[in-house]
Amino acid sequence: MEIRPKRGAVLITGTSTGIGRAIALHLDRLGFRVFASVRTTQDAESLRAEASGRLTPIQLDVTDQASIAQARDEIGLAVGDAGLVGLVNNAGVAFQSPLEFVPLDKLRWLFEVNFFGPLAVTQVFLPLLRQARGRIVNVSSTATLAVAPFHGPYTASKFSLNGLSHALRLELKPFGIQVSIMICGSIRTPIWDKADGLTAQITQTYPPQAWELYGSAFRKLRDYFARMGRSGIPPEAAAPAVVHALTAKRAKLIYYVGPDAHLYRIAEKLVHGRLRDWVIMRSIGIDE
């Protein structure tokens, strides 16, 4: 593997906790100049306490165009003609719901964060990336390899992000900008608890019919995800893939992070159709 010696400026979204925070601190330790997007002053101070002076927290809401533009002005002023060598679109949210009853406003909000947010950030920061022939890493999920029932809202948003990434890679190739997808498996981050809380909040208003139709299977799915969250690998495991994507002469098109991500990658090629459906349902504990 040939590594570029360059250690320039990188913007990472969603660094308050979990994967984003681990990546930001790791790149900071390697000598990158890190702009770490957070939502609150408290999150910013927490990051500063662990990082060097090279890391700068930036308050950024990926669903707010004005917030993105303000961050671009701040970062553009700081990096000048050097531009950005990397953009890591990591910010994301999740919840589970039977698709028959999911409120469309909640589904649109999820897509605003997981799909339109990365695109909006990429659009605004592409001029800075072009200056440095930088790299883009879009953080996706094994939900796109093994589609689970009731995980449709999150899965659909990540499928959309994958499609966006492939098209973006082809469009930006003439400018020397490489685009990678990082498929993350089970990683111990607060997103599991946050998703469970959002799920409870969103589904509490569902009519009794929803639980008559889906209640038993839905509870098994939530129990399954709770086990996955507890057994996941630490978020620091995602950092090496990002480093490679930002520094290797040829970044991989797709990075798989975690043992289950590699397993799902193999299973996707070997198990198809109804057999795949059966395996997924049995793994969750749902009897068809």
Q: Hey, which residues are catalytic here?
A: 154
DSSP letters along 22-81, please? HHHHHHHHHT-EEEEEESSHHHHHHHHHHS-TTEEEEE--TT-HHHHHHHHHHHHHHHGG
To the nearest 5 percent, what fractions of the chain are helix, strand and coil?
60, 15, 25
Contact 120, 62 (CB under 8 A): yes
Contacts for 141-144: CB closer than 8 Å, 24+ residues apart: 141/183, 141/184, 142/183, 142/184, 142/185, 142/186, 142/258, 142/260, 142/261, 142/264, 144/183
Provide the β-strand partners of residue 10: 34, 86
Residues 131, 125: Cα–Cα separation, whole Å: 10
What's the burial of 201, exposed, middle or buried (CB within 10 Å: 0-12/13-18/19+)? Answer: exposed
Query: Exposure string (b/e) for 128-167, b if CB count within 10 Å is 16 or more?
Result: bbebbebbbbbbbbbbbbbebbbbbbbbbbbbbbbebbee
CB-based contacts of 24, cutoff 8 Å, min separation 6: 12, 15, 34, 36, 47, 51, 55
